[in-house]
Structure 1
Amino acid sequence: MSVDFVIPYYGDPEYLFATIDSIRAQNRQDWRLTIVDDGYPGNRAAEYIDGLADDRIRYMRNEERLGPNGNTYKCSQLAEREFVCMMGADDLLEPDYLDVVLERLEAVPDAIAVQPGVRVMDSDGTLVPSVGMGDKVKRVISASARKAGMISGEDAVKSLLGGNWLYTPSLTYRRSALSKIPYRADIDAIHDLAFMVDMLMEGGTLLVDPREVFRYRRHQASDSAQRAKDGKRFDEESRYYSLISAELRAKGWNSAARAADLHFSSRLHALMLAAGRLGAGDFSHAGSMVGRALRTK
């Protein structure tokens, strides 16, 4: 069973180097790695990869910046092997990552992807000893899926639209499912959720494994964090939820459509940011966040 790692890259090259090293340290060595540079300044990434002299690793650079959504979609279409992992350019794998995800995918032929256990680390790579509010919410929402070890159909879509509990960079996908997803423009902040919802709407099972074989980096410098602060994230989310709600109703998945209409976790996130801005005396920004949390369209 062979795997394509395809990394959409834009950011600190030191993080990328550590990510590459964690892939090269896998117990299973039947993999290929493609790094798609979305125009990050300088050429340190290319120089590092050249210096490795590892013919399993290839590097390409976009002529024009595509953004997180566009570059991730491009990566999804570049994969050629049976299984695909599009991890972040700042995340890390434990040496047994491939052992775990491939074991699960081999055992369940209709599985479209597997979500392994994840440990969260900060920008310095230090494992976070106690999860924050966002991780606690993810654990509560995902409890039934984690207990069953799998989820599918409308129940799966409803669960994810109620609150995206996935750590999507940690997923390994079956390429045949990933290759069917459409490109949705202008949803950089939520493209990872859209990818999975589209695959689940096509059929198949999402597996959940408790073994912690992935390290997810969370830091305030991320593109997603910045989009939340200026409100762009919530505007993009609102557009997506409106679009997917209509598609779900056309499919007859009305319960999942209602979850999209409500998008509770997105509204809660906006309210939490509003509270923070109120505490800082930024009433204008706080009011803007409250408006985004309460809007119906």
Structure 2
Amino acid sequence: MLVDVMVPAFGDGALVRETVTSVLAQDDPNWRLTVIDDGVAAGRDPGLGDWLTGLAEPRVRYLANPERLGINRNFQRCAEASSAELVVILGSDDRLLPDFVGRVRQAAQRYPDAAFIHTGARIMDAAGQPATPLVDRVKALTAPRVRDSARLGGEPLAASLLRGNWMYFPSVAFRREVLLRHGFRPGYDIVLDLDLYLRILRDGGDAVLLERPGIEYRRHPDSLSSARAGDGSRFAEERAFFAEAAAEFAALGWRRTARAARWHLTSRLHVLCKLPGLLASGDLGAAGALLRGALTPIPAGPQAASRLPDSTRPGEGVPSR
């Protein structure tokens, strides 16, 4: 059983080279690495391809997009370019721990019907040093307690993820056929991971959770999620997504999941944590917009998503990095 490690990159740099090096250092040799570079068409440093070729490693492949796809469509290309039974989409600034491939292969064999495997993560800062930011302390509090491994699915797991998305997407190994069946929906950049998990669960798939972390996940201010939190677009996308999820799960009869989507408590708390910085900078307009979004309830019932303003619905425009 092979593991395809797919890295959606955005040009060359020290962090993406760290990511590649962490794959090369795996204890288990049953992996392939594909780097799909969305940065060359955007004028970013093109040196990554030459560096990867210079490694002279037959398990490593480099693909450069002829046109910029944006994060959502580049993730989709990663899924479609894979061919192994297990697929990991690893962030270009994250690192695999040395036993990651071996552990997910063992878990996949132990749980042959599981749709995906989640190992969790250690957190590091921009410099690669251990860190414990507030967002990850909250994730740790909301995540299920697991001893060695556990298999979860259905409404309990969906409701848990909507109360607070405690999963770390780069630490997830998907069954390829499940990943391709569901894919990444256009219009979502920030919540594309949560959207994918929930559609898999709604379709009857389940997950295996491993106790020990399998990756090192980097928190830094240049990441997409940090940038989108600063300008407020992250929260607009999240609000539209939660409204859609609340309506769909209410129609399905998953009441706890629909209620968790309407409350989206951790997203609201994240907004409130951003307010002091906006107020201190004098950006009262952005602060007011975020506060209104945090305090306004999502309507209940199957028609909730249709009652949102058009400007908050997902799927409009082209996803961007």
How does the TM-score come out when normalised to structure 1?
Answer: 0.93
Identity across matched positions, percent: 38
Structure 1 residue 141: Cα displacement: 0.9
Root-mean-square deviation (Å): 1.8
Find the residue that maps to 1:26 and give its secondary structure: coil
Structure 1 residue 46: Cα displacement: 0.7
Q: Which residue does 2:78 correspond to in 1?
A: 75
Find the residue that maps to 1:136 and give its secondary structure: helix
Give the alignment of 1:196-235 within 5 angstroms. Answer: 196-235=197-236
CA contact (8 A) 2:11 2:37 kept: no
CA contact (8 A) 1:91 1:216 kept: yes
1:115-156 deviation per Cα after TM superposition (whole angstroms, max 9, x unaligned):
11411111111122xx22111111111134669723210111
Q: Which residue does 1:15 correspond to in 2?
A: 15
1:212 counterpart letter in structure 2: P
Q: Does 1:237 align with 2:244?
A: no
Q: Which residue does 1:120 correspond to in 2?
A: 123
Aligned length: 295
1:6 counterpart letter in structure 2: M
Gap runs ≥5 in structure 1: none
Structure 1 residue 97: Cα displacement: 1.0
Q: Which residue does 1:92 correspond to in 2?
A: 95
Provide the C-alpha distance between the structure 2 equivalents of 1:10 and 1:141, rounded to a whole number of angstroms: 32
Q: Which residue does 2:319 correspond to in 1?
A: none
Q: Which residue does 2:316 correspond to in 1?
A: none
Provide the C-alpha distance between the structure 1 equivalents of 2:219 and 2:190, rounded to a whole number of angstroms: 15
1:27-64 deviation per Cα after TM superposition (whole angstroms, max 9, x unaligned):
11121111111124121111111111212111111222
1:116 counterpart letter in structure 2: T
How does the TM-score come out when normalised to structure 2?
Answer: 0.86
CA contact (8 A) 1:49 1:57 kept: yes
1:156-208 deviation per Cα after TM superposition (whole angstroms, max 9, x unaligned):
11111111001111111111211111442221111111111111112222111
Provide the C-alpha distance between the structure 1 equivalents of 2:268 and 2:99, rounded to a whole number of angstroms: 37
Provide the C-alpha distance between the structure 2 equivalents of 1:146 and 1:163, rounded to a whole number of angstroms: 20
Gap runs ≥5 in structure 2: 298-307, 309-321
Find the residue that maps to 1:166 and give its secondary structure: coil
2:97 counterpart letter in structure 1: E
Structure 1 residue 214: Cα displacement: 1.1
CA distance 1:147–1:24, shift in 2 (3 Å): closer
Structure 1 residue 84: Cα displacement: 0.6
Find the residue that maps to 2:119 and give its secondary structure: strand
1:200 counterpart letter in structure 2: L
